[in-house]
A and B are shown apart, each in its own frame.
Chain A
Amino acid sequence: DAGVIQSPRHEVTEMGQEVTLRCKPISGHDYLFWYRQTMMRGLELLIYFNNNVPIDDSGMPEDRFSAKMPNASFSTLKIQPSEPRDSAVYFCASGSLDRGNGRLFFGEGSRLTVL
């Protein structure tokens, strides 16, 4: 199996622009998570999906953030409009209760810089 694939690896944008981060989970995994990592706040769970359905989005900072999972092999995290304080590394992770029980598989992250 290929691992969790995220794109882009690096994104530099200007304040006010729309940013879309993409994630392809491991095939067969039914959970997908979006995390944000910053020096100040560490790793924060933004939202997670089970079987493509958003289960808990309480970690999404505000309405500027949205996430979708249109099918089992693809998810997006969108920020519109972006702000400098959104600069962080965004990780996607997938997992399954049946396969790799209790283990999350992380992508390599998307480093976002908002100028």
Chain B
Amino acid sequence: AQSVTQPDIHITVSEGASLELRCNYSYGATPYLFWYVQSPGQGLQLLLKYFSGDTLVQGIKGFEAEFKRSQSSFNLRKPSVHWSDAAEYFCAVGAEANFGNEKLTFGTGTRLTIIP
């Protein structure tokens, strides 16, 4: 069975500082990996996804993530955070055979707080 671990429940970062959110996955084959962001009172929005190819993927809002098979990780990064990045971030893994659309498994989320 696939699973996702986000070890950090809550992270606080100063505005303008760099950010890295951790995600570790467990899956027997090549995973389809996603990062979603949820702003308060809103649904989830896709930031970026990895299916194959270049292990460094670029997403919206200046985010990027790197797939490291040897570490079973897909950490999310941003070089300089903005106050508007305060939200909850979810890592998710999907099954290879179905392009990740079916039965995405989500991590428990990391809440990001930005301080001035």
Shortest beta-carbon distance, B47 to chain A, in Å?
A: 11
Roughly how many angstroms separate A33 CA and B38 CA in the complex, as a whole number?
A: 17
Q: Which residue of A lies closest to B49 (CB)?
A: A102
Given A102-B100, A108-B42, A109-B42, list of 19 further CB < 8 A pairs? A31-B101, A43-B90, A45-B104, A48-B102, A50-B102, A55-B102, A56-B103, A93-B43, A95-B101, A96-B101, A97-B101, A101-B99, A102-B34, A103-B46, A103-B49, A104-B36, A104-B104, A106-B43, A106-B44
Shortest beta-carbon distance, B49 to chain A, in Å?
A: 5
Roughly how many angstroms separate A107 CA and B43 CA in the complex, as a whole number?
A: 5
Q: Which residue of A lies closest to B51 (CB)?
A: A102
- Interface residue count on the B side (C-beta < 8 Å): 25
Q: Which of B58-116 contact A (CB under 8 A)?
A: 90, 94, 98-109
Roughly how many angstroms separate A91 CA and B42 CA in the complex, as a whole number?
A: 10
Roughly how many angstroms separate A107 CA and B94 CA in the complex, as a whole number?
A: 20
How big is chain A's contact interface, by range? 20 to 34
* Contact surface of A with B, Cβ cutoff 8 Å: 4, 31, 33, 42-43, 45, 48, 50, 55-56, 91, 93, 95-97, 101-104, 106-109
Roughly how many angstroms separate A50 CA and B44 CA in the complex, as a whole number?
A: 20
Shortest beta-carbon distance, B35 to chain A, in Å?
A: 12
